[in-house]
Amino acid sequence: MAQQLVYSSKINKIRSFALILVFGGILLMYAGILTKGIEWLMVIFFLLGVLMVFLSCAVYVWIGTLSLKAVPVVCPSCEKPTKMLGRVDACMHCKQPLTMDRNLEGEEFDEKYNKRKYAKVNKNNNK
């Protein structure tokens, strides 16, 4: 089997994280219903579940603000509009790696280009 690029766009990643939180919260509340014989356990499950659902709401709001900051680009590979965050990101539709930095064009895709440390080193080299 050919090796697939497992990297997905940051916004998609955060979105699936929020989705997992919602399901986790619902599952915890369901566990609360199942354990209603033990009152303190039920309360803990319920509180945790509500907390997780609230947290996912916060994450959704966060995605909203992130999307506003993201740069809209048209993917060169599938020609669909996508949004990217940071110096390197992947297309939301075809997972094509994209970069904002001409120096990195053609380089192997690496998450490390988004790290502040790398940006600093690069800046020093350009002096």
Which residues are near Zn ion by CB under 5 A?
A: 75, 77-78, 91, 93-94, 96
> What φ, ψ does residue 98 adopt, rounded to 5°?
-125, 150
Select 20 or 74, whichever has its Cβ closest to Zn ion: 74
Nearer to Zn ion, 58 or 81 (CB): 81
Least separation in angstroms between residue 18's CB and Zn ion is 22
Which amino acid belongs to residue 79?
A: E
CB 80 to Zn ion: min, Å = 6
Nearer to Zn ion, 94 or 121 (CB): 94
The nearest distance, CB 90 to Zn ion, in angstroms, is 8
3 state SS for the chain = CCCCCCCCCHHHHHHHHHHHHHHHHHHHHHHHHHCCCCHHHHHHHHHHHHHHHHHHHHHHHHHHHHHHHCEEEECCCCCCEEEECCCEEECCCCCCEEECCHHHCCCCCCHHHHCHHHHHHHHHHHC
Nearer to Zn ion, 12 or 77 (CB): 77
